[in-house]
Structure 1
Amino acid sequence: MYEALYSPLPDCAAYAARIGVSWPITPDLATLDEILFRNQCAIPFENLEAYAEKRVPSLEMSALFDKVVTNRRGGYCFELNALLCAFLQGAGYDAWSVSCRILRGKDFIPPMLHRGILVRLDGQTYYCDVGYGGPQPGGAVPLGGQRTILGETFLIERRGDAWWGLDRITSQGVREKVFEFWEFPLPASYFVPYNFYCASSPESVFTQKRMLNRRTPQGSLALTGDVLTEHRDGQVFTQQVKSREALQEIAASRFDLPLPLEALTPSE
């Protein structure tokens, strides 16, 4: 059972084609930034398997590959960052999975319910993420430093003996906490119980409402419940989704998820 969590990515070239990068690649920082940006644009964050289909997503590598690459679905952090980490390793990067907690919008210490990626490159360690449903860096951010990527500034600093914190400077110039994470590598089996909780607990946000997110060249798209929000060239547009037919059309045209209705909304 657990052995299948550690399989290599079945086909790195197919994954590269899925996100729109050439293969093979040169494992440098510029290419890493391109991989992250294109991944965020091509593969949507989505919780539909947990929310609508009432299933716990499999974290076995072959199942993840079939879902996201072959069947062109999206996923959430335990799926998307697992796949990307395997792809980066297959591409020649020194990459590993880390456990994070999401601090953004919280005034308490939450549990470790996010999976991130660290990459060691030319003596510097970088945080990478394609599986967060909120503002995430569009490129790699150095531990102990900061980068402005696509007009947004992110910085990572040491917090105590065991933690690193990733912060974001908002468009209003306010510094907000996004993540805290451990630097040491964790095995794939570590994330199995957290994935189970997030996909099955009635207290989990992933079982309570529909969430689709996708980066675009001009900004981002988010479908939360029945509200579509688009950030485009510094402006914000919102739209209420008023019918099931409109929901299917938006999922297909805006998030590249041409799915049947039962995969988009829970059965009554």
Structure 2
Amino acid sequence: MNADAYLVRLGLDPDAFVEPTLSALEQVQRTHVQTVPFETLAVTGDPFDESDDGDGVRLERPHLFEKIVERERGGFCFELNGLFNWLLCELGFDADRIAARVVGDDGAGRPPANHHANVVELDQRYVVDVGMGVPTMRRPLPLDGSIRTDDVGVSWRVVECDRPDETYTTQYRDDSDADWQNRYYFSDTPRELTYFEATCDYLQSAPESPFTGDPVVSRATGDGYVKLRPDSLVRRVGSEETEEPVEAGAWHRVLEREFGVRYRPA
């Protein structure tokens, strides 16, 4: 781990990080989700090149560093939070990897360990997550049920889970009058990165996986998010969402302009 290079990748001054405080944790999480995109091109390959099946996802930490920091790519949760945990520990935070179950459209959380997040111990325990698509968690979230509202007005909380196999539920809502939505279930049992290998292999290969169809590319912004599809760019600012068409010949230019990703098939 070269923590200085990682912080520079996030646009941060390495000399500004003197000790592991909550404010430092908030800053590095917020800048991470606004700089490093959630993207699945390693799984899907180039959407306009039938010969490109993607490089595949590998969870060895040196490989993740080379991909995300040196090549300035993104990744999905096992990659992003997998590497982020290494950075947090290098910066002096007491950070544990934890397994979670992202909730699908049917309300179920399956398969087990389909998401990697982190729990950091400071004045209390916080979920810290830089590995989600939309909606994106932008700041540390305490496990005590208190509500945290981010810079774009999305509120988050952690409540007790009603499932017998998990301890907590992470919830969010876009509006104060809206119902709380379950984002993922989790327990704060520490895990090794190798714990996620089987589910990672499944999610990058199974036809029913949400990641083996069209590529997913998204990034938080200071006032919303941007999300790239094979034929359009979705941009949300506050509560307003717009969608503009993207021609196949312009797709890679948009990918580089909006996400900083220079993708070329292996």
TM-score normalized by the length of structure 2: 0.89
Flag the 1:14–1:222 CA change in 2: closer, same or farther, 3 A: same
Query: What's 1:107 paired with?
Result: 107
- 1:143-158 residue pairs with structure 2 within 5 A? 143-144=143-144, 145-150=146-151, 151-158=153-160
What letter is aligned with 2:179? V
Task: Work out which of the residue numbers 14, 21, 30 in structure 2 matches 1:37.
Answer: 30
Measure, in 2, the Cα distance between the counterparts of 1:108 and 1:140. Answer: 25
CA deviation vs aligned residue, 1:49-101 (integer Å, no higher than 9, x gap):
11013343111111000001011111110000011110000001000111111
In the other structure, the counterpart of 1:118 is: 119
What is aligned with 2:260?
256
| SS of match in other structure, 2:14 | coil
How far is the alpha carbon of 1:240 from its aligned partner?
2.3
Aligned equivalents of 2:215, 2:7: Cα separation in 1:
28
State the Cα distance separating 1:234 from its structure 2 match. 2.8
Indicate the residue corresponding to 1:184 in structure 2.
189
What is the alpha-carbon distance in structure 2 between the residues aligned to residue 77 and residue 147 of structure 1? 22
Q: What displacement does 1:259 show?
A: 2.2
Match for residue 7 of structure 2?
16
* Aligned-residue offset at 1:104: 5.1
1:165 paired to 2:169: yes
Stretches of structure 1 that go unaligned for 5 or more consecutive residues are 1-9, 264-268
2-side partners of 1:13 and 1:236: how far apart? 36
User: Which secondary structure state, in structure 1, belongs to the residue aligned with residue 225 of structure 2?
Assistant: strand
Aligned mate of 1:247, from 251, 254, 259: 251
Counterpart of 1:97 in structure 2 is 97
Please name the residue that 1:79 is paired with: 79
Report the Cα offset of residue 223 of structure 1: 1.4
Q: Is it true that 1:205 corresponds to 2:207 in the alignment?
A: no
Instruction: Please report how far the alpha carbon of residue 35 of structure 1 lies from its aligned counterpart in structure 2 after TM superposition.
Output: 0.6
2:233 corresponds to 1:228: yes
Report the Cα offset of residue 228 of structure 1.
Answer: 1.6
Asked whether the 8 Å contact 2:118–2:128 carries over to 1, the reply is yes
How many residues were matched structurally? 251
Classify the secondary structure of the residue corresponding to 1:105. Answer: coil
Contact 2:102–2:185 (8 Å) recurs in 1: yes
Q: In percent, how many aligned pairs have the same letter?
A: 27
RMSD across aligned C-alpha pairs, in angstroms? 1.6
What letter matches 2:56 in structure 1? V
Q: Does 2:68 match 1:68?
A: yes
Unaligned residue ranges in structure 2 (runs of 5+): 46-52
8 Å contact 2:33–2:136 — kept in the other structure?
A: no
Mapped to 2, the partners of 1:133 and 1:247 lie a distance apart of 19
1-side partners of 2:71 and 2:54: how far apart? 19
Q: Matched residue of 1:207: which SS?
A: coil
- Of 207-216 and 107-116, more deviation after overlay is shown by 107-116
